[in-house]
Amino acid sequence: MQKFYQLWAVLDKWKTGYLIAGLLLTFSSLVRMLEPKVIQIAVDGVIKFFDPSTTNNEPDWLVGLFYKVLPTIQSDNLTWVLFCIGILLVGIVSIKAITWFIANILVASSTEKAIKNFRDKLFAHIQTLSLSQMSKIPTGELIQRCTGDVGTIQKFIGTQISELIRLLAIAIGAFVMMWLVHPTYALISVVLFIPIILTSYFFFKKEQSVWEEHENEQDKLTAIIQENLSGIRVVKAFAEETNETIRFAAQNKAKRSIGVRHIDLHMVFWPLSDWLVNIQIALSLFAGGYYSLLGEITIGEYASFFTYAIMVTWPMRNLGRIVSQLGMAGVAMERITQILHADVEEYHASPTSTPVESLGKIEFKNVWFAYPQSSPASEKELTNAASRQWALKDVSFEINHGETLAIMGPTGAGKSTLIALLLRFYEPNKGSIWLNDKPLESYDKLFLRQQLGVVLQKPFLFSTSIYANIAYARNDLHGDLKLLSQDAVSDNIIEQVATDACVTDFIDKMSAGYDTLVGEKGVTLSGGQKQRVALARTLLSNPQILILDDATSAVDTETEFKIQEALNKRMKDKTTLIISHRLTSVQHADKILILKEGQVLEFGNHQTLLQNNLFYKEVFDIQSSIEASIE
């Protein structure tokens, strides 16, 4: 029942439309209860006309009301009476059809609006999840939950909720109509109701369990597809197409086995359900004939009774289908609820004041940080510093406004972790970070990230034009990326940042210039071209602090020199952080930070670090000897 309430809550403010549709469906079902009574009048009237000696039971109040409306059956107006009965039946059917039609329109409209709203909320919630939460859920699984699971919920609330209301109204209405005429016969007509309910409940529990396994296997299958398509270049580069096909087939087989179990469950339930329902119909048929022979009900009442019995039994038959859909929708709702209940990232700082001064001074004070574990750690592990895998250990340094800081170190030294902490993707476990002599946590995250421009070593490009990818940094300028054309923003603004990032060096070679589509993740561009487009995008945002995370590693030395000259002009009097392994990128920095195994190994300028005769001096000697050999 709790899952049903959760599914009902999805309707949100469109519940009113469902309630109105429910009332219309109930009214339509009650109108339908009149059809057997019209048939009863036709049967009893004809029999009584040709055989006046038949049992003359007092008709119930509803039949008596119809008799008052219809003309009296006589030998000279028999055709007219039958015509009036036909008109009455057509009127009843028409009212039922119109109300049913309006109800279905309301249900369809409310469902589409509610699901659109629900999907928007789900996607917006995913945007607020922290990186630590996002890393726990595979991308393919998120895609499956946002598409397949939402579709399962849509199917249930769009068809089964309204169907449940209609079936309940028909079953209750038909039982009441039978009870008013012959209570014993009415009870016989629903004697197998309890066994059918118990069977459906057992089916519901099994359906829920099997479908949950099925969706888990579907998640894995979707993840394989998403991962394979995203890394198709790697797959083809290593000629792993056959192995990838085998891996997909193995997972598809695992999903199929669960699907077969699901089908087997239905193969057992539906024949059993049909057997019970048909036994119930047979009992109603024999009981009606028995009471008709005893003279307790007329032939017309027997005909109407049997129709009502079918109306009661039919919802029993469809109960299993509703229960099946409820089980699947319940699993889908539970999977989505896990995402909706995941911890979101807290964007707003405790002091709500937004700084107006230019940002630039950065200070790390004894910062310790370890990435969250993928599996829950014990309380002892959480409190034991020695057992943690520290990415940063007691890191301290300071740079002033307008300075350039270069960060170097071997792979895994913690360089990118510094940037992640500065962007507040994560919070330090110990120590603190200060920006403009204020704790970093005092800044609103959205404001902070709008002031920091980041260019990553492996930039992400959207599957749209080069122009749209650059304009993405200005959400006040770009609209729908698919619809964005070169007229959307000033050509001068785009061309200026494109020139600084050396995008103009290759744009003339592209098939459609700035309007060239780059494919998914920029697949049609080289690594260096993607880095330059990403740099132009970041420069367009005009950040107060620029962060280059090995952002020119894929460009040649000449292009890198041109980019550095442009950045020196554009970022004059602004703070710049550069992560690089090239001395040409870092030796002119005001300060150089050397990290090793998460700790500060060296800190100073180029000349100071050369005198230390440590890591920086080793890198300098190696790169200098390589350059000398090349010359």
- In the structure, what pLDDT confidence band is assigned to residue 631 with cuts at 50, 70 and 90? low
Q: Which residues contact 282 (CB under 8 A, 6 or more apart)?
A: none
Whether pTM > 0.85 for this model: the answer is no
Tell me the C-alpha distance between 10 and 153, whole Å.
9
CATH 3.40.50.300 fits 362-373+387-626, yes or no: yes
Q: Taking the CA atoms of 150, 227, 425 and 357 in sequence, report the sign of the dihedral they define.
A: negative
Mean pLDDT of the chain: 82
Q: Which residues contact 226 (CB under 8 A, 6 or more apart)?
A: 139, 140, 143
Cβ–Cβ under 8 Å, residues 514 and 431: no
- Mean per-residue pLDDT for 500-520? 84
260-318 residue pLDDT tens = 988 888 888 888 888 888 898 888 888 888 888 888 888 888 888 888 888 888 787 77
Provide the pLDDT for residue 383: 45
Find the helix or strand (DSSP H, E) in which 512 lies. none
User: Beta 575-579 vs 404-408: how paired, if at all?
Assistant: parallel
Cβ–Cβ under 8 Å, residues 178 and 186: yes
- The residue ranges of DSSP E strands in 354-476, in sequence order, are 362-370, 390-399, 404-408, 430-435, 438-439, 452-455
% of the chain residues with pLDDT over 90: 10
- Mean per-residue pLDDT for 597-622? 86
- The residue ranges of DSSP E strands in 318-429, in sequence order, are 362-370, 390-399, 404-408
Provide the pLDDT for residue 395: 92
Q: In the sheet where 362-370 sits, what is the strand order? A: 390-399, 362-370, 430-435, 438-439
- Mean per-residue pLDDT for 14-29? 88
Q: Which residue reads 């280059």 in tokens? A: 548
- Mean per-residue pLDDT for 493-506? 85
Burial of 15 per CB tally in 10 Å (0-12, 13-18, 19+): middle
- Mean per-residue pLDDT for 588-612? 88
Of residues 556 and 603, more confidently modeled: 603
- In the structure, what pLDDT confidence band is assigned to residue 380 with cuts at 50, 70 and 90? very low
SS3 573: coil
Give me 434's structure tokens: 């200060």
For the chain, the structural domain boundaries read 2-340, 362-373+387-626
Q: Which CATH architecture has domain 2-340?
A: Up-down Bundle (1.20)
At residue 323, φ and ψ (nearest 5 deg) are -65, -40
318-332 residue pLDDT tens = 777 787 788 888 888
Question: Which of 90, 152, 588, 521 has its CA nearest to residue 330?
Answer: 152
- In the structure, what pLDDT confidence band is assigned to residue 66 with cuts at 50, 70 and 90? confident
Cβ–Cβ under 8 Å, residues 467 and 484: yes
Tell me the C-alpha distance between 116 and 105, whole Å.
17
Question: Which of 431, 558, 541, 531 has its CA nearest to residue 497?
Answer: 541
Cβ–Cβ under 8 Å, residues 516 and 527: no
Give me 13's structure tokens: 């403010």
User: Beta 438-439 vs 452-455: how paired, if at all?
Assistant: unpaired
- Mean per-residue pLDDT for 146-167? 85
| Cβ count near 528 (within 10 Å) | 18
List Cα–Cα distances, 422 to 316, 339, 343, 518, 543, in angstroms: 62, 27, 21, 31, 14
Cβ–Cβ under 8 Å, residues 579 and 407: yes
Tell me the C-alpha distance between 171 and 176, whole Å.
9
Helices (H), 128-160: 131-134, 139-144, 150-155
Q: In the sheet where 591-596 sits, what is the strand order? A: 452-455, 545-549, 575-579, 404-408, 591-596, 599-604
Provide the pLDDT for residue 435: 92
pLDDT over 90 at 392, yes or no: yes
pLDDT over 70 at 155, yes or no: yes
